[in-house]
Amino acid sequence: WEDPALDEFMESYCKVLLKYKEELSKPFDEAKSFLNKVELQLRNLCKETPTTATTTSGSYHSTDEVAGSSEGELSGGEVEASESHESSAPPRAVDQDLKEMLMRKYSGYLSSLRKEFLKKRKKGKLPKDARVTLLDWWNTHNRWPYPTEEEKMKLAEVTGLDQKQINNWFINQRKRHWK
């Protein structure tokens, strides 16, 4: 039962699958590497000893490097840990100091992540009272549903929406109405 065409097809198919596996594994390996670096930075920051480190984090260890990222870029800036955390300090004070130190060190990185997240997040539906107001305007002007710039500004004031939202609502409403 030898079929050279089938054998050749299966070999090329296996190569394609291997290529897909490599492409899909790369982001996962980069994420593991990133987590290892963050974990190392947190250990250094908290000055943990190997006996107090968590054992569950061992599953993230990888020797891969995050492409194009240095330790400084990942941390968003360096802030040295202060030596004021004595064992006599109350746990809440130590926690608060640690939180403040982490916020100083990673605030730039966190704010850039927040901006990126907000950029990608969908806005969702407009508030119901704003939609009702816009629909009322639409129904009274259905012969010519093109508000002037002045009318758009008034609608924006009344609804609490911005100019772009008003414009987009009217564009979408005309599309919905004329289908």
Integer angstrom CA distances of residue 117 from 34, 91, 96, 134, 165: 19, 33, 27, 29, 20
- CATH fold of 128-177 reads Arc Repressor Mutant, subunit A (1.10.10)
pTM higher than the cut 0.75: no
Q: What is the pLDDT of residue 18?
A: 92
Closest by Cα among 51, 46, 105 to 75? 105
Residue 98 CB-density burial (10 A; 0-12 exposed, 13-18 middle, 19+ buried): middle
Q: What is the mean pLDDT of each run of 10 residues along the chain (179 residues)?
A: 87 91 89 91 73 43 39 44 51 79 80 73 78 94 90 93 92 85
Q: Is residue 77 left, alpha or beta, with left meaning phi > 0 and alpha meaning psi from -120 to 50?
A: left
152 neighbors 163 (Cβ within 8 angstroms)? yes
pLDDT given at position 142? 85
**Angle at which helices 91-120 and 4-46 cross, to 10°:** 140
Which residue spans of the chain are classified as CATH 1.10.10.60? 128-177
Distance CA 17, CA 19 (A): 5
Contact predicate 145/138, CB 8 Å: yes
- Give the pLDDT confidence score for residue 119 in this predicted structure: 66
